Chain A
Amino acid sequence: MTLANVLLVDDEVAFVETMTKRLTKRELNIISAFSGQEAIEKLQKNQAVEVVILDVKMPGMHGIETLREIKRLYPLIEVIMLTGHATVESAIEGMKHGAFDYLMKPCDMDLLIEKVKEAASKKRKHEDKIIEARMREITSRRG
């Protein structure tokens, strides 16, 4: 049993690889992607993904765009933004578009794990509520 299913998105291959190893070691199930486009594709294949760790600055489809797309397709998936920039603006923009939180790169591993856990639990709570609501709907319908 893993703590959470996480999609890690960053254009820095070495970073993604090391992070994957470290996070996997911390009992996270990591799927990696190296671009925004790839992230969307991976999400389509792996419906189990709960949390996305997303780099803001990427070539091609950049972070905010990817975030928007993810939120549009999978509103329940939580996204943690990683920013190399100290640009509070882009972070705030990310939050506005529904990001769960943001962290500055290089980030503290424990902090990241903490955030991922929070995000995952939030997502699960959301899902539980939805299931509950659905069940209530069904039961009330039957009753």
Chain B
Amino acid sequence: MNRNRTKQHGHRHSLARNILLTILVVSITPMVLVSGIILYQFNVSHHDKVEAHIKELVQKHKQNIDFFLEEKLSDIRSLAKTFSFEELSDESFLEDRLALLQQQYRHVFVDVGVINNAGLQLAYAGPFKLGKALYSNASWFKDAMKSEYVISDVFLGLRGLPHFIVAVRDNWNGEPWILRSTIDFVAFNDLVENIRIGETGFAYILNKEGAFQTKPVHKILPNPGRYLEKISKDGEDTAIQIFEQPDEAGKKNIYASAELKGGDWILIYQQRASDAYSEFRKAFKLTILINLLGGLGIIIMAYFLSKRMVNRIDKLDKEKRMMNEQVVETGKLASVGELAAGIAHEINNPVAIMVEEAGWIEDLLEDEDLGKSKNVDEFKRALEQIRSQGKRCKEITHKLLSFARKTDSKVQEVDLNELIEEIVALSMQRAKYSNVTIKTDLQENLPALHVSQAEFQQVLLNLINNSLDALERKGGMIEVNSYTRDNSVIVEVTDNGPGIPKANLNRIFDPFFTTKPVGKGTGLGLSICYGIIKKLGGVIDVRSSIDRGTTFLVRLPSPGQVQIEDENEPGKEIHS
């Protein structure tokens, strides 16, 4: 039994675990899969979106900057073409021109100068005193002497301020001269500086050598060397390149590059990947959070669900076991009854024959003249004994048969009090001889019960007869009470007889258990009562104390509650 229980326990344990695991796998797997797939798809499309956005931004700014540079160049060129070298050599005229340009472009042009082919500045208009400055060694001057238009790299120059030069070469009287203008670095820088996305996205311009042409605003100064190679490798391509690469800090960055000024400069946009894909990161974090919370919820739910399910199964198991026991019990009783009936019937006929044969001998003895024989009386006594024992057999078999027979179990509305009065009246006769008084204390207006009248009469008569038997020697009192309690109708038969010893209390409902002298009782009365009350969905119980008396209690469910059987009925414990 114990081993069985532990085995069952283990079985239940593994059942709970299986349910738990099944729920977890079935619910978490799709959740993780779906969110993973969605996240991946979102990642891909988000990457594409971000890259497209950056590309577009860089493209637009590349055009802007190119346009800006070209515009400035064409301004200076048109100045050089429109006016002659002599006119421009006049400083006051030059100042007028500069003022005009500045008016038009809001101080983009810082100054203007006219330089001869030796690099000497012949005329100057601007805030700095740069008249007669010599530029013969400046790289832009050398470039300008070679090609007609020059936009220089950013340099500090004579003034020590970052700036760059736009220069146009022209000829006057066969001698080349140069009109140059300084472009305000701040104004130019703004163009690039304005390219900003998120927290870490910024742009700058490098020349071919990797020198900054703009002032990078960001604190983290990028080291252009690392990725410049990568750009220059496919430098031929004018399209915008985009790639990712970790920077010095080891953080992944997105770089987008575009060529400016016909390939002299490179516009580079740089942004931390984490920043660029921050939306994805947010979604990712949210998904993870939801997954974790959902998973946690599922685990908790699955745990409690499996526990509850196993408990429910447990309860059902227990109920089933109890029901099985009950069925076995009932079956046992029924088979005992059938067996008894079979035996009773088979025995009845031989007994009848034996009794008749004995009677026949008696008859014959009367005819014979055996008056002298001393054994005549003995013969008669023996025959009488055979007859009386045959009668006893008859009684037993008849009781057995009534135990097993199908009585009139037609259920009808029965007024319990009326029935009790009837049975008590029936018992009064016997009670009188035994010097027993029967009292009744019946509650008025008991609900009518749906029971078989015949069966309930049998129960009541059996109980009262038992009490009468108990009181036979000394006399006493029997009380029959009826009352309702907790939706049950209760009938009590109490006597003040000698009581039932504890050892017998557990067995009194067993078939064939009797304490009466041999030949007096069959041991079936209470067993029949038990069967009947059980069938009616009720309980029969006994309380007894030695020398104080015995109470039999029959509890029947009130109408409407017939189907509900109390699980912990004491009657069952007594019986099993």
Residues of A within 8 A of B (CB): 12, 14-15, 18-19, 21-22, 25, 57, 84-87, 89, 104-107, 109
Contacts and interface: CB of A to CB of B under 8 A. Distances in A.
Contacts of B357: 14, 18
Given A85-B405, A89-B408, A22 B349 contact: no
A18 B356 contact: yes
A100 to B, nearest CB: 20
B359 interface: yes
Interface in B338-370: 345, 348-349, 351-353, 355-357, 359-360, 363
B123 interface: no
Closest 3 CB pairs of A and B: A106-B352, A86-B398, A106-B355
A19 B357 CA distance: 8
Interface in B534-573: none
B359 A22 contact: yes
B356 A86 contact: no
A105 B345 CA distance: 10
Nearest to A82: B352
A104 B363 contact: no
Most chain-B CB neighbours within 10 Å: which of A15, A86, A89, A104?
A: A86
Given A12-B352, A15-B349, A86 B405 contact: yes
Contacts of B394: 104-106
A86 B402 CA distance: 6
Given A15-B353, A86-B402, A105 B360 contact: no
Interface in B360-402: 360, 363, 390-391, 394, 397-399, 401-402
Contact of A105 (B348, B363, B402): B348
Interface in B391-437: 391, 394, 397-399, 401-402, 405, 408
A87 B401 contact: yes
- Describe B's contact surface by its main secondary structure: helix
B352 A15 contact: yes
Nearest to A11: B349
Contacts of A84: 345, 348-349, 352, 397
B363 A22 contact: yes
B428 to A, nearest CB: 22
Contact of B360 (A18, A57, A86): A18
Contacts of B391: 106
A71 to B, nearest CB: 24
A19 B353 CA distance: 9
B348 A22 contact: no
Nearest to B401: A86
A85 B391 CA distance: 14
Contact of B353 (A18, A57, A107): A18
Contact of B398 (A15, A18, A104, A109): A104
Nearest to B403: A86
Contacts of B405: 85-87
Contacts of A104: 394, 398
Interface string B73-99: 000000000000000000000000000
B352 A105 contact: yes
A112 to B, nearest CB: 10
Contacts of A21: 360, 363
A106 B401 CA distance: 14
12 contacts: A12-B352, A12-B353, A15-B349, A15-B352, A22-B363, A84-B397, A85-B345, A86-B401, A86-B405, A87-B401, A105-B352, A106-B352
Nearest to A90: B405
Contacts of A19: 356
Contacts of A105: 348-349, 352, 394
Nearest to B363: A25
A25 B390 CA distance: 22
Contacts of B363: 21-22, 25
Contact of B349 (A12, A25, A109): A12
A57 B344 CA distance: 13
